Amino acid sequence: MIIAWVVLAAAIGWGAWFVARGSRQALWFRVAAAAVVLIGCAASFWMYGDHLDKTLGAVIGYFLLWGSVFVLSGACAGVVVGTLIALLLG
């Protein structure tokens, strides 16, 4: 799972670097927005699941949430890193 997350983040990061053709202010806004979403994903790890009922609906919701957090956090991490590299090199 960790390797899949790193590959996803690297692919999204390369894409964010490749399409970084905006103004510096727009690129910094992209970094800030992706960082806020990434912080939200990290916060959901701590907040969700502590008081989870053991019903079928709760378990299905749990896996749907973590599946989306897995993909979204990898994408946000890639956007942050790829855009920062584009800002530093450009």
Q: Is the pLDDT of residue 17 over 60?
A: yes
CA distance 38 to 5: 13
Residues 65 and 44: beta-carbon distance below 8 Å: yes
Residues 12 and 84: beta-carbon distance below 8 Å: no
Residue 16: per-residue pLDDT: 94
Model pLDDT for residues 44-71, shown as the tens digit of each residue: 777 765 565 677 777 777 788 888 889 9
